[in-house]
Chain A
Amino acid sequence: MTARGVLGHPWLTVRVQILLGAVFIVAALPKIADPPSFAHMIYNYRMLPGALVNGAGLFLPWFELLTGVALVLGIWRRTASSAIGILLLLFIVSIGFNLIRGNPIDCGCFDVSAAGRSVEERFQDMGWVIARDVGMLLLVGQSLWSERLSPGRAAQPDQGA
C-alpha cells in the first residue's frame, strides 16, 4: 500500500477524528465548568477587546465541545474538522503572538486554574503548546484530506473501525 493509501485509509481517519474530538471534549469541560476563570485566561492574552472577553469565554468552550462531539460521533466530519482546524490556528497565532511579544500566559487549554508557574515555565509551556497544536493541526489535515479523497467513507463501519 502506498503512503497515500495509508494516510487516507478510513481505519486511520476514524481514529484520528475520534482522537481529535476526544481532545476537544476534554479541553472544553473545565472551561464550561468555570467560565469566569476561562474569561480571565482570555483576558490575559491581551488580544480581544474587553467587551468580547466574556462572550468568548462563554462561547468558545461550547463550540469546542460541540465540534468534538460531532467528530467523535462522525457527524458533519468535514465541517467539524475544519472548525477544529480554525480553532487550532487561532490558538497557535494567539500563543505565538504572546510568545513573540514576551507576555507569559497560561494557555488555558485544559486547565483554567491559575497554576502559579514562573515566567520561564510559562514561556517554555507556550512553546510546547504551539508544538502540540501544530501536531493536532496535522491530524486535522489528515482528516480533511481523507474526507476529500473519499467523502463519507470513513463513517462506514465496514471500512472504518
Chain B
Amino acid sequence: MRRFFAELSALVVCAALCAAVSNYLAGRERKLTPVGRYPNAQVVPQPAQDPAPGPAPSTPPAAPAPVAAASSPGPVPAGATTSLPAPPTRAIPSGSPSAKGGAGAPAAPEPLPGVPSGESLLSRFPPHPDRPFAEVSGTDALWAHSAGVPFLDARRTKVYEEGHVVGARSFSVWESDVDQKVFALQDEVPAKDRPVVLYCSGGECEDSHMLAEKLFGAGFVNALVYRDGWPDWQKRGGPSRSGPRP
C-alpha cells in the first residue's frame, strides 16, 4: 500500500511539474493563470482607476463616441491594447433611429455625418450602474456598430481570427492576458458610462457575460451583451473580417 501511494504521489508531482512548465512556456493564447477567478469575474486584480462600479450616469462626456472617433482604422495586431479601432462603416443602417449628427458636441475630430452624438448614444443605451450588463439585440448591435461603439469579442483568439465583427477586439476571458486588456481599456476609455458591445458565440455562450462582469468590476457601467452574438451577426450580414486585424 505504501508503494502504491508513493507511486501515485510521484505521478501527481510529475503531472503538476509538467503542467507548470508547459504553462510557463506556453504562448499568450495558451497560458492560464494558475488560479481562476470565474465565479468572481468582477474581481480585477490591480486597483482600478474607478473602483466604484459606475460614475454618475448623468454626466455625459464631452466628446461624442470618443473612443471610436479618436482612434485610427489602421491595422492593429490581435491582442494589441493601444487604441480602439474605428469601425469602417459609419452609415446608420436603414430602420435605425435617426441620429442627431453630434449636435452641440465639441469633439476634436469632426464627427462624421450620421454618427450619433454621445447624448443620443446614452439615450439609446443608458448606463446601468446597478448591474454588469444589459442584453441587446442584433438590430441594436448593428446600430451601435455603425455609431462607432467599441466591440469586444469574448471568444478565443483563434476563433476570433476565423471571423469577427469589423473593428472588434479580441478579449477572451479564458486567456491569461484578459486582465491586462481590461487595464488598457480602462486607460483608453475615461468615461465608463459609454456603451461597449460584447459578444461571443450566441446561444448558451456565457463568455461575453463573464467579460461584462469583469468590465463592471473595472468600473464600466454600460456593457451591452449582444445576446445572439457572432452567428446572428453573420446572419444579418454585418461587416466582418477574418485574421488578427480588428
Contact = CB atoms under 8 A, between A and B. Distances in A.
A55 B201 contact: no
Chain B contact residues: over half helix, strand or loop, or mixed? Answer: loop
Interface in B134-152: none
B18 A66 contact: yes
A70 B18 CA distance: 15
B4 A78 contact: yes
Contacts of A8: none
Given A32-B22, A79-B4, A67 B36 contact: no
Contacts of B124: none
Contacts of A49: 39
Interface of A: 32-37, 39-40, 43, 49-55, 57-59, 61-63, 65-67, 70, 76, 78-80, 82-83, 104, 114, 116
A63 B12 contact: yes
Nearest to B201: A114
B16 A79 contact: no
Contacts, number: 88
A63 B15 contact: yes
Contacts of A52: 36
B35 A54 contact: yes
Chain A contact residues: over half helix, strand or loop, or mixed? Answer: helix
A76 B7 contact: yes
15 contacts: A35-B23, A35-B26, A36-B31, A36-B156, A51-B36, A51-B37, A55-B34, A58-B19, A58-B23, A58-B32, A58-B34, A59-B16, A62-B14, A70-B11, A79-B11
8 interchain residue pairs of minimum CB distance = A50-B38, A79-B7, A36-B174, A63-B15, A50-B39, A54-B36, A53-B36, A62-B15
Contact of B35 (A37, A43, A51, A78): A51
A59 to B, nearest CB: 5
Given A34-B30, A39-B36, A62-B15, 13 more contacts: A33-B30, A36-B29, A36-B175, A51-B36, A53-B36, A54-B32, A58-B20, A58-B23, A59-B19, A62-B19, A65-B15, A70-B11, A79-B7
B156 A37 contact: yes
B222 interface: no
B48 interface: no
Contacts of A80: 11
B39 A76 contact: no
A66 B16 CA distance: 11
Of the four ranges (under 10, 10 to 19, 20 to 34, 35 or more), the interface on chain B belongs to 20 to 34
A55 B156 contact: no
A152 B183 CA distance: 57
Contacts of B37: 50-51
A114 B154 CA distance: 14
Contacts of A114: 201
A43 B174 CA distance: 10
A101 B29 CA distance: 33
Given A63-B15, A66-B18, A55 B36 contact: yes
A106 to B, nearest CB: 11
A154 B201 CA distance: 49
A66 B14 contact: yes
Residue from B16, B19, B23, B31 whose CB has the most chain A CB atoms within 10 Å: B19
B8 interface: yes
Contacts of A67: 11
A63 B176 CA distance: 22
A66 B36 contact: no
B40 interface: yes
A63 B35 contact: no
Contacts of A82: 4, 8
Nearest to A49: B39
